[in-house]
């Protein structure tokens, strides 16, 4: 896959930078039957972002955008923790599954709402999802009653912090979701229909594609992904924080999708690219800690790296850089003669 070469190369470069600062960065070992290592950590901590970005990929492929994923993360975490906190035994597997079901059901309902606003009412996606982005934080606060709900549930802890078959459980969830998405979009025909609607909505409608239904499904799925990510985040800390859970994750997710090579103009999308994009962002966060960037400059540092990454991703920029590099030295000209050098 030539399209993925650039994001893959950038990721590799970032990882190598870490090797300089952190000894044994690439080392993976088994402790107590669990896989440990910096690389595993990047995957584990990056799992929620990867999930949100995967859902976002499909939305962006339809020429849309979903700003509400961060709020959905907070809402599902809050909902799940609230339900679990009311259980008589917080370790009851049935009770925890019920709580997860309610929370994810709520996420899907919110996503259907987004899809309805975009597809049926015809509001621009950025505005339609902005509503939930803002209102959703309030909803999460309402659910938690403005407090941070703390729980103590081992089954729930498994989602974000547990291990299964030596692997972190969150990585397994991501792998399953990715495999399912790849199957449905690439082995089945959903991917083609999404790309067609994103590429030319009117032509798709005239070709008989039910674009309204398709949009609602895509927004609902994006919210579901955000919901699962919300469970992971709250499970990892065994608490729900309506204010800060998933804050700004929508921006990281959009960035991951774009770095992965899916255009904001809709159409072609790449799930593999999005995973690489999310990993790049997560690795960057890890790198910032490992090379000891002062906390007050982390955001600036991140912005700088992201700018460089985006420039490297841009074919126009690359063409320019390579052209000027290949250009032979300008011939010596007698003084006084006017030269124009194209850059």
Partner 1 sequence: MAEAILRMTGIGKEFPGVRALDGVDFRLLPGEVHALMGENGAGKSTLIKVLTGVYSIDSGEIELAGDRVAFAGPLEAQKAGISTVYQEVNLCRNLSVAENVFIGREPRKFGRIKWGEMRRRTTALLRQLDLPIDVSKPLSHYSLAIQQMVAIARAIDIDARVLILDEPTSSLDAGEVAQLFRVMRRLKEQGIAILFVSHFLDQIYEIADRMTILRNGRLVGEYVTAELPQVELVGKMIGRELAELERLDERPPARTSDPLVEATDLGGRVAPFSLTIHEGEVVGLAGLLGSGRTEIARLLFGADHAASGTLRIGGDQVTLRTPRGAMARGVAFCSENRREEGLVPELTVRENLILALQARRGWSRPVPRKKQDELVAKYIKALNIRPDNPEMLIRNLSGGNQQKVLLARWLILEPRLLILDEPTRGIDVGAKAEIQKLVVELSDGGMAVLFISAELDEVLRLSHKVAVLRDRRLVAELPNDDTLTTDVLMETIASGGAK
Contact positions vs partner 1 (CB under 8 A): 184, 187-190, 192-193, 195-196, 199-200, 202-210, 214, 267-268
| Closest separation in Å from C-beta 268 to partner 1 | 5
Three-state DSSP class for residue 283: helix
Whether 44 contacts 171, CB under 8 Å? yes
CB atoms within 10 A of CB 336: 5
| Closest separation in Å from C-beta 59 to partner 1 | 16
Whether 95 contacts 81, CB under 8 Å? no
DSSP secondary structure code for residue 116 in this structure: I
DSSP secondary structure code for residue 332 in this structure: P
| Closest separation in Å from C-beta 206 to partner 1 | 5
The residues, any chain, with a CB within 8 Å of residue 330's CB and separated by 6 or more, are 339, 341
Using alpha carbons, select from 281, 272, 268 the residue that is nearest to residue 309: 281
98 vs 267 by CB, closer to partner 1? 267
Integer Cα distance of 149 and 144 in angstroms: 6
| Closest separation in Å from C-beta 179 to partner 1 | 17
57 vs 196 by CB, closer to partner 1? 196
| Closest separation in Å from C-beta 222 to partner 1 | 16
| Closest separation in Å from C-beta 221 to partner 1 | 12
The residues, any chain, with a CB within 8 Å of residue 37's CB and separated by 6 or more, are 26, 27, 28, 29
263 vs 285 by CB, closer to partner 1? 263
Using alpha carbons, select from 221, 160, 163 the residue that is nearest to residue 32: 163
70 vs 111 by CB, closer to partner 1? 111
Integer Cα distance of 227 and 126 in angstroms: 19
192 vs 321 by CB, closer to partner 1? 192
3 vs 34 by CB, closer to partner 1? 3
């Amino acid at each position: 896959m030539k399209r993925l070469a650039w994001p893959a190369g950038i990721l590799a470069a970032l990882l190598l930078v870490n090797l300089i600062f952190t000894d044994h960065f690439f080392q993976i070992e088994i402790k107590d039957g669990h896989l440990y290592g910096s690389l595993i950590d990047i995957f584990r901590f990056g799992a929620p972002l990867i999930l949100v970005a995967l859902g976002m990929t499909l939305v962006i492929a339809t020429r849309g955008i979903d700003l509400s994923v961060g709020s959905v993360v907070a809402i599902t975490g809050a909902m799940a923790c609230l339900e679990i906190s009311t259980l008589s035994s917080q370790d009851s597997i049935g009770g925890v599954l019920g709580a997860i079901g309610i929370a994810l059901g709520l996420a899907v309902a919110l996503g259907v709402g987004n899809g309805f606003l975009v597809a049926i009412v015809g509001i621009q996606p950025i505005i339609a999802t902005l509503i939930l982005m803002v209102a959703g934080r309030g909803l999460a606060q309402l659910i938690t009653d403005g407090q941070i709900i703390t729980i103590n549930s081992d089954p729930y802890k498994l989602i974000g912090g547990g291990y299964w078959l030596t692997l972190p459980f969150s990585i397994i969830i991501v792998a399953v979701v990715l495999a399912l998405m790849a199957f449905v979009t690439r082995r089945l025909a959903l991917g083609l229909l999404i790309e067609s609607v994103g590429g030319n909505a009117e032509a798709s409608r005239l070709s008989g594609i039910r674009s309204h239904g398709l949009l609602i499904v895509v927004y609902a799925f994006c919210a579901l992904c955000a919901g699962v990510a919300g469970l992971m985040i709250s499970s990892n800390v065994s608490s729900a924080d309506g204010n800060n859970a998933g804050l700004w994750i929508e921006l990281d997710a959009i960035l991951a999708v774009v770095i992965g090579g899916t255009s904001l103009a809709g159409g072609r999308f790449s799930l593999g690219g999005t995973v690489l994009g999310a990993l790049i962002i997560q690795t960057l966060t890890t790198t910032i800690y490992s090379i000891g960037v002062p906390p007050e400059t982390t955001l600036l540092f991140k912005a700088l790296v992201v700018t460089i990454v985006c420039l490297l991703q841009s074919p126009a920029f690359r063409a320019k850089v390579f052209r000027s590099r290949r250009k032979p030295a300008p011939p010596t000209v007698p003084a006084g003669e006017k030269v124009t050098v194209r850059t």
